[in-house]
Amino acid sequence: MTRIDDTPPAWDDRTQLTTFLDYARDTARAKCEGVSAEHARTALLPGSPLMTMSGVINHLRWVEYYWFQVVFLGEEDHAPMTDDDPDREMRIAVDFPLPQLVDEYTEQSARYRELVAGNDLGTRARRAIRGGLHVDLRWILHHLVEETARHNGHLDILRELLDGTTGD
CATH of 15-163, one of 1.10.15.40, 3.90.226.10, 1.20.120.450, 3.20.10.10: 1.20.120.450
Q: Structure pTM?
A: 0.93
Residue 20: predicted pLDDT: 94
pLDDT higher than 80, residue 3: no
Residue 5: predicted pLDDT: 62
Q: How many angstroms separate the Cα of 30 from the Cα of each of 24, 79, 92, 152, 162?
A: 10, 25, 22, 10, 15
Residue 45: predicted pLDDT: 87
Rounded CA gap, 36 and 126, in Å?
Answer: 41
Per-domain residue ranges of the chain: 15-163
Encode pLDDT of 142-156 as tens digits.
999 999 999 999 999
Q: Which of 149, 136, 153, 152 is nearest to 14 (CA)?
A: 136
Handedness of CA 147, 33, 35, 81 (dihedral sign): positive
